[in-house]
Amino acid sequence: ADRVAANGDVANKIGTYKLSVVAKENGIPVYPVVPTSTIDLNIKTGKDIPIEERGAEEVATIGGVRIAPENVPVYNPAFDVTPQRYITGIITEEGICYPPYEISLKAAKEKAQKRIEENRKRKVGV
């Protein structure tokens, strides 16, 4: 994932949201795999995640040939946001986080930070 909000909403490449909805409707669990570095506890929900917009030419042209009418408005987000209600759990290098995500994601971040600090101390010999 590119960003995870404190409530467990996940921003990922386009298409993740629709796949998670279809999976949930068919009883298939969804587990995004994320490094703890992408968890941002200062972002409360997916609505607060800034979404990068890509250039209109990516969808308005093919091989340099324009396929869309000139001046047509184009919305080309780089990511979509999957609401946590469609997510079974979030896999991190510190284990699997389950709801309530506000608690489990915070614990994963703290565990990762502690591990990183311990590794730094070992490398420096402190």
Which residues are known to be catalytic?
A: 2
3: closest CA among 52, 54, 39? 39
- B/e letters for 83-112, b = 16+ CB within 10 Å, e = fewer, are bbebbbbbebebeebebebeebbeebbeeb
| Rounded Cα–Cα distance for residues 93 and 116 (Å) | 12
